[in-house]
Structure 1
Amino acid sequence: MADQVILFKEQQRFRQFWLWAIILGAAALFWAGFIYQVALGGQFGNRPVSDVQLAVLFALMGVCMPWFFYYVKLTTEVKPGEMRLQLRPFHVRPVVIHLHVVRHYEKVLYNPVRDYGGWGIRWGFKGKAYNMSGNEGVKLYFYNHEPLLIGSQDADKLFEAIKLAKELK
């Protein structure tokens, strides 16, 4: 029954303004082209594609791409003795980290682009990272493999939950 106790749970999405400006700007371009060419009967651009091709591009870039970036979500859950990470839609099941194999952990400030190459599931010179936005997290050091950074909007609570979960086992 103790395994059902959730000490910490956080769900994160992409929140970067510049990322959403690019995604929605590109989507708006495809919306405008689709409306102008298909609905109003004009020709969009100097060398317009067919209405069918434009409809496919509109569906992919104007609808599916923004939906995909909205759908991506990192869920971090800490329970006694374990931590679960799931980056939807890339993980069908959560990645389970048994905390008894964690040698040391610390709250860190990091630069997502410089240290790990961006956001998402990233591999860098400093190890692997799961992060969605921001520059705070908890870094786990293991006995048997490279460090793992978990980005969090509330790194203090995540750190305290890991501390408690290791004690409770």
Structure 2
Amino acid sequence: MQTQFKNSFYEVQKFRQAWIWILMISLGLMTIGLFGYGCYKQIILGEKFGNHPMTDTGLMIAFALVVVVISFLFFLLVFAKLTTQIDNRGINYKFYPFHHRFHSIGWDVVDHCNVVAYQPVKEFGGWGFRYFKNKRAYNVAGDKGLQLILKNGKKLLIGTQKGSELSSFLNQIRK
């Protein structure tokens, strides 16, 4: 009986954690509601809003900016995704909308790689795209990732929700 091996690893991850959505929607609605109430009170009712009120124009501009920023952040969460493709040539990753094409790392520049458990908040300050001097991380959720140490000394961590599958795949292509 012949054993059939997979010749590539593929994963797409999105921000789907309930706590992120609850936090985003709650803060967004509270902020928009507060500025909306301020506009209503000051512009419609003619009562000053706050101890040091803005001008009506300033309040409308602030309200519009709040709506634009919160809409942008919501859009970012909806459409952001981390795509990872690994094969015998190397690692390809794309963190849309920050990357519009894949970034490739050939195996010839990788000194060491391993699937690791890590602490996203403690080690990287959270999830998303994180960049430090010689250390980068792309992670969307969880606490598992592909840790790459490149021959130039730089480190890259690419998060994964398929740690066991990725580890098995790496063992398979190293043979």
Judge same fold: TM > 0.5, yes or no: yes
SS at 1:63 equivalent: helix
Distance 2:146 2:11 in 1: 13
User: Paired residue for 2:163?
Assistant: 155
Distance 1:124 1:111 in 2: 16
Identical columns (%): 28
Q: Count matched residues.
A: 162
> Aligned to 1:80, which of 81, 88, 102?
88
1:11-39 CA distances to partner (integer Å, 9 max, x unpaired)?
1122444433332122212443576557x
Determine if contact 1:30/1:61 at 8 Å carries over to the other structure.
Answer: no
- Kindly report which structure 2 residues correspond to 1:6-25, keeping only aligned pairs within 5 A, or say none: 7-25=8-26
Determine if contact 1:112/1:118 at 8 Å carries over to the other structure.
Answer: yes
> Aligned to 2:149, which of 119, 138, 141?
141
- Residues 57/145 of structure 1: CA separation in 2 closer, same or farther (3 Å cut): same
1:106-158 CA distances to partner (integer Å, 9 max, x unpaired)?
22111011112222222358832221111111212222322322211111112
Distance 2:130 2:101 in 1: 18
User: Paired residue for 1:117?
Assistant: 125
**TM-score, normalising length: structure 2:** 0.73
Runs of 5+ in structure 1 lacking a partner?
none
User: Paired residue for 1:27?
Assistant: 28
SS at 1:153 equivalent: coil
**TM-score, normalising length: structure 1:** 0.75
The structure having more radius of gyration, on CA atoms, is 2
Coordinate RMSD, CA, aligned = 3.1
Structure 1, 69-78 or 45-54: larger mean CA deviation: 45-54
- Residues 61/124 of structure 1: CA separation in 2 closer, same or farther (3 Å cut): closer
Structure 1, 44-53 or 75-84: larger mean CA deviation: 44-53
Determine if contact 1:105/1:139 at 8 Å carries over to the other structure.
Answer: yes
- Residues 57/81 of structure 1: CA separation in 2 closer, same or farther (3 Å cut): same
- Residues 7/79 of structure 1: CA separation in 2 closer, same or farther (3 Å cut): same
